[in-house]
Amino acid sequence: MAARVLDGNKIREEIIADLAVEIRELKAAGITPGLAAILVGDNPASHIYVRNKVKACQSLGLYSEKIELPSEASTEDLIKRVGELNRRDSVDGILIQLPLPPQVDTQAVLEAVDPAKDVDGLHPVNLGYLVSGRPGLVPCTPAGIVEILRRGGIAMAGSQTLIIGRSNLVGKPLALLLLREHATVTIAHSRTRALAPLARQADILIAAIGQPGLVTAEFIKPHATVIDVGINRLTTPEEIRRLYRQSSVPLHQLEAKGSVLVGDVQPEDASEMAGAFTPVPGGVGPLTIAMLMVNSVRAAKRRRMDQKKTTTGSR
Ligand code: NAD
């Protein structure tokens, strides 16, 4: 029996519908949550990501602004702009679109963001909250993966969960979030030996690697849940034939569009072996921006409601 598809677009719609109610309530209290995105240089993918984030804000009625800096901007230039946004009350969330150019000290810029406005959840204060289990702002892609599992009806508590990938952006924070959900978490990475037999023990297998189709049938325990975080762009028919042995649809897509997006999991193997899986595109991807919107609203609520309480309290 073919595996159940965990539809990221559908789950995103559910999250956005819930969020729209919260935004209406905030607006009724005179608060319009606002997000500012800092974009450095002319990386085309970064421009597309920021455009999509601004669009998502607009469709939800959030305030948004885009700050563009030239590719030769320095660490000091960025920290100065971040400082200005930290002080502006109308800005609830500050997003630094990564990657930054090589001359910029990325960590110093991320650490300059006010933790209360750190909607990407990458400030050490928020990462510390995550480690110690206190409420804070959580990185968007890992938060989206937990939403997929929760809303997809996948039991996390007690599950054997393997995450392949140990990045600060995905693997590490995801491990902490899943621990919070009472999963038994293992993290694998590029130096892990005998990866396939290890993966085959997992009830939930999460691939966040960046290598097209690395996860094949021999990695997947029958009926496991497979979450594919990878986003890889293929541009040759040979690469596509290696990933798709049955379907010729991707080859037609390549002819029409010049490239095809794939994940880290062999899609046909996931469909045959897994109990449920996320497709690429249309799985984890749509959740990342949705969770950015959730974080922006959460940041606005916490900071501005706190301000209101303090002002009222001091009267
Ligand atoms: P990264 O390059 O920082 O980390 C990749 C990880 O994979 C590393 O920890 C490395 O140890 C591990 N790895 C590499 N080769 C391996 C191998 N052969 N076997 C086992 N482990 C191996 O990447 P990242 O930022 O964590 O992103 C991972 C993937 O997820 C990328 O394809 C990226 O584009 C995608 N991504 C998607 C979203 C989304 O919204 N869907 C968000 C963030 C990242």
Q: Secondary structure of the chain in the HEC alphabet?
A: CCCEECCHHHHHHHHHHHHHHHHHHHHHCCCCCEEEEEEECCCHHHHHHHHHHHHHHHHHCCEEEEEEECCCCCHHHHHHHHHHHHHCCCCCEEEECCCCCCCCCHHHHHHHCCHHHCCCCCCHHHHHHHHHCCCCCCCHHHHHHHHHHHHCCCCCCCCEEEEECCCCCCHHHHHHHHHHCCCEEEEECCCCCCHHHHHCCCCEEEECCCCCCCECHHHCCCCCEEEECCCEEECCHHHHHHHCCCCCHHHHHHHHHCCEEECCECHHHHHHHCCEECCCCCCCHHHHHHHHHHHHHHHHHHHHHHHHHHHHHHC
Which of these is catalytic: 92, 97, 172, 264?
A: 97
Q: Is 214 found in the same domain as 170? A: yes
Average confidence (pLDDT) over 202-227: 98
pLDDT one-digit tens code per residue, 223-268: 999 999 999 999 999 999 999 999 899 999 999 999 999 999 999 9
CB-based contact 14:286 (threshold 8 Å): no
pLDDT one-digit tens code per residue, 46-63: 999 999 999 999 999 999
Q: Is 86 found in the same domain as 187? A: no
- Is 129 a residue whose pLDDT tops 70? yes
Closest CA to 148 of 177, 187, 168: 177
- Is 144 a residue whose pLDDT tops 80? yes
Average confidence (pLDDT) over 216-221: 98
58 an active-site residue?
no
Please check whether residue 22 lies inside any domain of the structure: no
Ligand 1 site-directed mutation target among 163, 167, 284, 293, most atoms within 8 Å of CB = 167
Residue 53 CA, chain-centre distance (Å), reads: 12
Which of these is catalytic: 92, 117, 118, 120?
A: 120
Q: Is 154 found in the same domain as 110? A: no
Q: Is 171 found in the same domain as 217? A: yes
- Is 190 a residue whose pLDDT tops 80? yes
Q: Is 275 found in the same domain as 183? A: yes
Predicted TM-score of the model (pTM): 0.95
Q: Is 83 found in the same domain as 171? A: no
Please work out whether the CB of residue 94 comes within 6 Å of at least one atom of ligand 1: no
Q: Is 268 found in the same domain as 175? A: yes
Report CA(208)–ligand 1 centroid distance (Å): 4
CB-based contact 235:254 (threshold 8 Å): yes
Please check whether residue 188 lies inside any domain of the structure: yes
Domain range for residue 209?
140-287
Please check whether residue 266 lies inside any domain of the structure: yes
Dist. CA 80–CA 147, nearest whole Å: 35
Q: Whose CA is nearest to atom 6 of ligand 1?
A: 165
Residues 6+ apart with CB under 8 A from 54: 37, 64, 66
The residue type of 225 is T
Q: 97, 114, 131: which is the final residue of a domain?
A: 114
Report CA(183)–ligand 1 centroid distance (Å): 21
Please check whether residue 10 lies inside any domain of the structure: no
Q: Which atom of ligand 1 is nearest to the CA of 209?
A: 7
Ligand 1 site-directed mutation target among 170, 198, 227, 291, most atoms within 8 Å of CB = 170
103 an active-site residue?
no
Q: Is 51 found in the same domain as 178? A: no
Please check whether residue 307 lies inside any domain of the structure: no
CB-based contact 173:121 (threshold 8 Å): yes
Please check whether residue 92 lies inside any domain of the structure: yes
Report CA(254)–ligand 1 centroid distance (Å): 24
pLDDT one-digit tens code per residue, 155-174: 999 999 999 999 999 999 99
Please check whether residue 191 lies inside any domain of the structure: yes
Q: Is 72 found in the same domain as 156? A: no
Say what the pLDDT of residue 307 is.
74
Q: Is 215 found in the same domain as 85? A: no
Q: Is 245 found in the same domain as 209? A: yes
Scan for tokens 């320095």, then name that residue.
74
Number of domains in the chain: 2
Q: Is 231 found in the same domain as 160? A: yes
Please check whether residue 13 lies inside any domain of the structure: no
Q: Return the CATH number at 226.
A: 3.40.50.720
264 an active-site residue?
no
Residue 313 — very low, low, confident or very high, per pLDDT cuts 50/70/90? Answer: low
